[in-house]
Structure 1
Amino acid sequence: MLNARIFAFVVAAVSAVGLTAQAQDYQESAFWQQEVDAGNLPPVAKRIPDAPKVVDLELRNRETGQQGGTLRTMVTRAKDVRQMVVYGYARLVGYNERYELEADILRDYENEDDKKFTLHLRPGHMWSDGQPFTSEDFRYWWEDVANNELLQPSGPVDFLRVEGELPKVSFPDAHTVIYEWSKPNPQFLQSLAEARPPFIYRPAHLLKPYHADYTDEETLSERLYEARVRSWAALHNRLDNMYKFDNPDLATLQPWMLATKDGKSRFLFVRNPYYHRVDKNGVQLPYVDVVEMQVVAPGLVAAKANAGEVDLQARGLDFKDTAILKKGEATGGYTTKLWSNGTASQIAIYPNLNYNDNMWRDTMRDVRFRRALSLAINRKIINKSLYFGLANSGGMTVLPISPFFREENRNAWAIRDLEKANALLDEMGLDQRNQDGYRLLPDGRPAWIVVETAGERQEVENALQIIIDNWAEIGVKLIMRPLERDILRNRVYAGETMASTWFGWDNGLPQTYTSPGYLAPWDQAFQSWPKWGQYHQTHGEAGEPPDMVAAIQLNDLAHKWTRAYGAVERGVIWQEMVDIHADNVFAIGLLNGAPQPVVVSNQLRNVPDKAIWAWSPGSHFGVHRPDEFFFEQ
């Protein structure tokens, strides 16, 4: 880790002037020059791997940039400093701008029939504190963390299991790691490229001092006392927070590293002096020296962007903000770009099929009920009111860019038809109404559905206000309840929420190589079946096993996909799963393809004019490589 002197320099250097000279050899950054001169850092030629990742910007119609400057952006919660891991997008294997996988942190890799993966590290690659990044960091995670019951009671993460089989992992030398299964694991590489990477490595040199296998009991006890923690495992897990990115003492491989300790409303991230990517002129990336992340109230993001207080912003902005953002361009020194959205649905309603109320659970599990709710929604009005008709109305399915897109799936149970919706509810036996015109459940309670939201997007509340009137026309009352995001998720996972809203599938662009696990009842994050997801994620120790025919079909198909040997077979499985979702309306999608406003400083270069804003695949800004963005001097 950088010493205190360097951290002091970091804070003072936030406004450092970028380097403009060109040279044949690696160029020292002005940001770190003082530390190099003082002997606190080696020169740049000794900080870059022996075989760095060389990017040719001209091949991608980008400009060769220059180092320097501070990029300002905003988040709405202090915990969202983790977005710097998302945006930084340094991955063992990552997607390029064509959404093709290629080696990034890795020098290269070999894939033998999706059964054996040989990962080759870059010789000379170092962590941000200057310590070597080697296969020992992979070994430590695999043997001492992932397979340690105290640190990870449920064992290694799911994507490493193939029908329950864990891989054989070996470390032939300092720069080679091998993962091997007896059956194919086609999701292995894709998982490494995710927005939230699995981090199958750790900075072993920093964590071993807090591990009982490497530190004597007396020393460990002293550290536990200082940290006010009862067990070494709890302390280790507290420090082992590579995705949270909130510990400046934990080394990283990302382009920027946290330089603010115990921050509350303002965080600084400074260039990683050991970053592995360079341009063809020998300039080490990232081009931008410092990222300043300010925490603001959700309602202030658009206003502050309008005032020119950011250099790059999309998170926290909705399409409704476009008008005010356009007005501020003349004085704010920025341009508002409109990117397409990669989620399967901009807004989706999730009936909780694992709801704790048995009567409501049975009602919502009847596919006729979910279809009727979907048929009653006036998506055209929502589209026109919220997006000026620029989005695509329809149920939740994949986007047209995916080979599994079918127009009939987007239209399935999504074209407004009140007569059919009422007929479905009558057919269910919900043909009795109270004095207010609302249908009655078999136990006499009125059909009132409480839909809980995260309260973060005004467009969600606006859409639900329209749906309140739509559902009233079929005798169902919608009650909207805004909650804080974490509270909402905990309630959903516990089966306490009747229905909730969120985006649709994060990845609306799947290909044959994309794991269909998020279409199967494998993850509690899919808010229609949290307990089925828990059952899968905990290997039966929590939650409930799927007990609906369609859900069991999806579960079996997802397992079948993992065993498939070719793209054709995987594609057939994908299509069947997409079709099952469209017919069963597990989540009620409203529309997709709504433009995402992206505010970009007029001085910031290499930001695409047209692109896809998607969590997966793409990591929001990540796939567009913010380490290549630079300020025009």
Structure 2
Amino acid sequence: MKTTIRRLLGAATLAILAGVGSSMVATATYAQTQEIALVDQFMAWNLDDYEAAGTKVPDFKQSPSFDDAVAAGTLPALADRLPARDDVMVVRPRESIGTYGGTIRYNATNPQSFGNVGYSAWDAHLAGVTTNWEIVYPDIARSIELAADNMSATVTLRKGMKWSDGQPVSADDILFFFNDIGGQGDLPPLPGNLIVGGKPIVVEKIDDQTVKFNFAAPNPAFILSVARAEPGFPLAPKHYLQKWHKDYNADAGKIATEEGFASWVDAFVSHQNGQTGDFQVDVNLPVLKPWMLSEVDQFGNQYYRRNPYYWKVDTEGNQLPYLDEQVRMLVSDPEVVKLNVQSGQLDYADKFSQADLPVLKAGEQAGNYTTMLYTADLGAIVKYQFNITTKDDVLRGIFNDVRFREAMSLAVNRQEINDTIFFGLGVPRQWGVSSKSPFYEDWMGSYFSDYDVDKANALLDEMGLTKGADGIRVRPDGQPLRVILHDAINRVPLSELMAEYWTAVGVSTQVNTVTRETFAQAVAAGEVQASVWFADVVSEKDMYTRPIWFRPPYGLDTNPVGGGLAWRKWQLSNGAEGEEPPAEYKAQQDLVTKWQATPLGSQEYYTLGKEVVGNTVKQMLHIGTVGEVPYVYTRSNKLKNFPDNNMLFIDHLRGGHAEQWYLTK
């Protein structure tokens, strides 16, 4: 149910981006009330802001599972585990106040993946978002205040906040991340969103709870960028990790060798992984998440137990989370996932296709679950791309001719795909943003999306790619034009159709199904020619902070599925590294940089945003098939405060806020 709330914000509250109708307002601080439309009841406040409206939070209460440890003195009392009272975060649950206890299980498809639904177990960043990203609010941070010129941001942490091992969180943990980890020596580089104007963000310590982030260029997207996942978590537990860092421990190399690592860098990265990412292996790593990794069993299943120092309470003073444990079950076979859902062994699950809907709906009553259809804020369910910087120079020349990409799009029978793969639930259209996006224009969905084999053949003929006697076109070097299409995301029936369409116009295409790990290695080596990948990160606020499909590299810096990584390095280093991109892509990068320097919600923001999207659609770097397809989840009927069908599916289940989920009997 959509509701309108009146939220009172103190003058020291986080700079907030609040949706008001179709416009966006960006300010540094609010000291007045504002009407905010939310899709459900979920909301969060600093406790002093919440109580300033006249509603008092009762005395804090803990899960009974901690009572014995507190009584025995092995765990501090709750008041000593939470931040200072005014700095505790108060959460209004989505449906109702929950009850403590219980374990829920969800699915992941391979050992190196947390599982997309697993995002719910690491909802902890400097800033947070409401269910449909209507509001950005303080999360780990007590406040974030952008300077009027957007050249700096002052971040204040919560007094008395503690890591999951009980040690204090301080400004030194932020400085440790910037000065001793990100981009230092052989350690992994800073994420791209922490490099602004071609230069890393410079962090200045004000006091133990306060730091100032200084930017080389205006950075109004900073608040949103630190509300995201992996790159939005610029702090690390210095007190724990310094043991494996050579600048803090002269024996770091010796310790690494004893642990079986080739270097102190490998050991450090292994122990650090998991603050928000997929690859945690150190069960002792201190975190700020609702649950802590406690075990990985012989089958690859991961067990997460309640964090006793978690820093949020509900509106009745109950420390969150309600659930004792989450378990990530490793289930690689989609058919087994469905069987586990129907037998009640998975409390929530995804990785379903639209073809699974009849089976899932039929099993609801016996399995005591509900099939959820979320409106995806996407312009395509998946997308296909040719690697424009593949190491095969002849293919690289072909792929960089926009006529080739236009022809490959025209060769696709989208109506047939919608009918046979998506059961008519989608809209045949081109890749891009959702039709609900403020950056969408009517021409985008139909751009080169007609099924026109004659025009496709004409474009390929115009390029000089003539057909041989066998019907296969010939490359400029005289070799047959053959393309390997990598599918690492299990869209095999769709990919096989795409291969048929492309082969029919003389571009012989073979589908190669691979694991994510193998695919990532091939991408890094420049060996991927074409691939299918997810078409997410096109929701308005998401793409503003991570425009990964709108400028080089086309994909993540760590997985540039569409190519252009060397071009991105050139841009980030101001030309010191990498390869200068062709003028077309250089201009697009400059446009994106300019767009990200405009305040969210300004007229220039919308004008430039439409240009960013429009250029990319016209470049045909991403080929869509069907869009506006609902995303399929299942949820146990015992699991409460789970988002309902009013939730937009934005970047997996982020916005689900699992700390307030609970189980009924």
**TM-score (norm: length of structure 1):** 0.88
1:396, 1:116 → 2: CA distance? 35
Greater share of helix: 1
Residue 195 of structure 2 is matched in structure 1 by 161
- Per-residue CA distance 1:320-376 (angstroms, 9 max, x = gap): 222221122121111111112234421211111112222221111111111011011
Aligned to 1:11: none
The structure-2 alpha-carbon separation of the partners of 1:497 and 1:93, relative to structure 1 and needing over 3 Å to count, comes to: same
User: Is residue 2:101 matched to residue 1:68?
Assistant: yes
Deviation of 1:226 after TM superposition, in Å, equals: 2.6
Q: Which of the numbers 547, 550, 561 marks the counterpart of 1:516?
A: 547
Answering whether residue 345 of structure 2 is matched by residue 312 of structure 1, we say no
**Shift in Å, 1:452:** 1.2
Q: Residue 144 in 1 paired to residue 180 in 2?
A: yes
Q: Which residue of 2 aligns with 1:35?
A: 69
> Could you say which residue in structure 1 is the equivalent of 2:523?
492
Distance 1:78 1:189 in 2: 32
The separation in 2 between residues aligned to 1:607 and 1:86, in whole angstroms, is 11
Task: Give the distance between the partners of 1:387 and 1:170, measured in 2 at CA.
Answer: 52
- Between the aligned partners of 2:75 and 2:552, the Cα distance in structure 1 is 50
Find the aligned partners of 1:344 and 1:371 in 2 and give their Cα distance. Answer: 18
**1:543-582 to 2 correspondences below 5 Å:** 544-547=579-582, 549-564=583-598, 567-582=602-617
The structural deviation recorded for 1:530 is: 4.1
User: Take 1:177 and 1:379, find their aligned partners in 2: how far apart are those partners?
Assistant: 51
Partner in structure 2 of residue 88 of structure 1: 122
Query: What is the CA distance between 1:534 and its match in structure 2?
Result: 5.5
- Which residue, 73, 76, 79 being the options, matches 2:112? 79
**SS of residue in 2 equivalent to 1:382:** helix
Q: Give the match for residue 597 of structure 1.
A: 632
Higher mean C-alpha displacement, 262-271 vs 551-560: 262-271
Which aligned pairs between 1:434-449 and structure 2 lie closer than 5 A?
434-449=468-483
Provide the rounded CA distance (Å) in 2 between the counterparts of 1:275 and 1:601: 25
Separation of aligned partners in 2, 1:527 and 1:598? 26
2:503 paired with 1:507: no
Instruction: Name the SS of the counterpart of 1:278 in structure 2.
Output: strand
Q: What whole-Å deviation, never above 9, does each CA across 1:358-402 have from its counterpart, x for those lacking one?
A: 222111111111101101111011011111211121111111221
Partner residue of 1:199? 233
Q: Distance in 2 between matches of 1:541 and 1:295?
A: 43
Asked whether the 8 Å contact 1:72–1:292 carries over to 2, the reply is yes
Corresponding position: 1:122 with 2:154: no
Taking the TM superposition and a 5 Å limit, the aligned residue runs for 1:288-299 are: 288-299=323-334
1:45 paired residue among 45, 68, 79: 79
Aligned equivalents of 1:213, 1:471: Cα separation in 2:
55
Structure 1 unaligned regions, length at least 5: 1-22
CA distance in 1, matches of 2:461, 2:179: 58
Amino acid at match of 2:505: I
Q: Is this contact kept in 2: 1:495–1:531, CA < 8 A?
A: no
- What does the per-residue CA deviation read over 1:567-606, in whole Å, with 9 as the maximum and x for residues that have no partner? 3223222211211111121111112222222111111111
State the distance in 2 between where 1:380 and 1:87 align: 38
Query: Is the Cα–Cα contact under 8 Å of residues 115 and 181 in structure 1 kept in the other structure?
Result: yes
Report SS of the residue matched to 2:196.
Answer: coil
Question: In structure 2, what is the equivalent of residue 227 of structure 1?
Answer: 259
Q: Which amino acid aligns with 2:479?
A: R
Q: In 2, Cα distance between the equivalents of 1:304 and 1:481? A: 29
Q: Report the secondary structure of 1:467's partner residue.
A: helix
Q: Tell me, in whole angstroms, the C-alpha distance in 1 between the residues paired with 2:437 and 2:425.
A: 20
CA contact (8 A) 2:109 2:115 kept: no
Q: Please tell me whether the aligned partners of residues 388 and 400 of structure 2 are also in contact (alpha carbons under 8 angstroms).
A: yes
Deviation of 1:555 (Å): 1.3
TM norm structure 2: 0.84
TM-superposed CA distance for 1:511, in Å, is 7.4
Aligned partner (choices 318, 322, 328) of residue 363 of structure 2: 328
Over 3 Å counting, the alpha-carbon distance change for 1:196 and 1:291 in structure 2 is same
* Structure that is richer in strand per residue: 2
One-letter amino acid of the counterpart of residue 36, structure 1? V
Contact 1:397 / 1:508 at 8 angstroms: preserved in 2? no
C-alpha RMSD of the superposition = 2.4
**Which residue of structure 2 lines up, in the alignment, with residue 8 of structure 1?**
none
Tell me if the contact between 2:296 and 2:303 (Cα under 8 Å) persists in the aligned partners.
Answer: no
Match 2:248 to one of 199, 214, 221: 214
The offset of 1:413, in angstroms, is 0.5
Q: Match for residue 395 of structure 2?
A: 360
> Quick one: distance in 2 between partners of 1:117 and 1:298?
46
1:631 and 2:631 aligned: no
Of stretches 598-607 and 534-543 in structure 1, the one that deviates more from structure 2 is 534-543
Counterpart residue number, 1:175 = 209
Q: Work out whether residues 158 and 537 of structure 1, in 8 Å CA contact, stay in contact via their aligned partners in 2.
A: no
Q: What amino acid does structure 2 have at the position aligned with 1:356? A: K
Structure 1 stretch 370-379 or stretch 591-600: which is displaced more? 591-600
CA distance in 1, matches of 2:141, 2:619: 42
Specify which of 461, 468, 471 is matched with residue 502 of structure 2. Answer: 471
Query: Which stretch shifts more, 195-204 or 508-517?
Result: 508-517
Contact 1:398 / 1:510 at 8 angstroms: preserved in 2?
no
Moved more, 490-499 or 142-151: 142-151
Aligned counterparts of 1:145 and 1:295: Cα–Cα separation in 2: 31
Partner of 1:280: 315
Deviation at 1:447, TM superposition (A): 2.8
Match status 1:256 vs 2:291: yes
- What is the letter of the counterpart of residue 117 of structure 1? A
- Number of positions where the alignment pairs a residue of Structure 1 with one of Structure 2: 595
Relative distance call for 1:609 and 1:377 in structure 2 (3 A) is same
Whether 1:425 aligns to 2:460 is yes
Contact 1:410 1:582 in 2 (8 A): no
- Distance of 1:473 and 1:208 partners within structure 2: 58
| Cα 1:239–1:82 shift into 2, 3 Å | farther
**Change over 3 Å in CA distance of 1:463–1:412 after alignment to 2:** same
CA deviation string 1:201-245 (max 9, x = no partner): 111111123333333x3x546523432335433322221112223
For the 8 Å contact 2:539–2:650, the answer to whether it is kept is: no
Residue 338 (structure 2) aligned to one of 299, 302, 305: 302
Over the matched positions of the two proteins, sequence identity in percent amounts to 30
Q: 2:643 aligns to what SS in structure 1?
A: coil
Local SS of the residue matching 2:518: helix
CA drift of 1:93 comes to 0.6
SS in structure 1 of the partner of residue 615 of structure 2: helix
SS at match of 1:397: coil
Q: Check 1:488–1:210 CA distance in 2 against 1; reply closer, same or farther (3 A cut).
A: closer
Q: 1:288, 1:631 within 8 Å by CA — same for their partners in 2?
A: yes
Judged with a 3 Å threshold, the aligned counterparts in structure 2 of structure 1 residues 614 and 495 are, in CA distance, closer, same or farther, namely: farther
Match of 2:90?
A: 54
Q: Could you tell me which residue of structure 2 aligns to residue 379 of structure 1?
A: 414
2:142 aligned to 102, 107, 110, which one? 107
Match of residue 410 from structure 1: 445
Q: Do the aligned residues in 1 keep the contact of 2:537 with 2:543 (CA within 8 Å)?
A: no
Does the Cα contact within 8 Å between 2:271 and 2:285 map onto a contact in 1? Answer: yes
**Closer/same/farther in 2, CA of residues 182 and 43 from structure 1, 3 Å limit:** same
CA distance in 1, matches of 2:385, 2:506: 19
Bigger CA drift: 509-518 or 594-603?
509-518
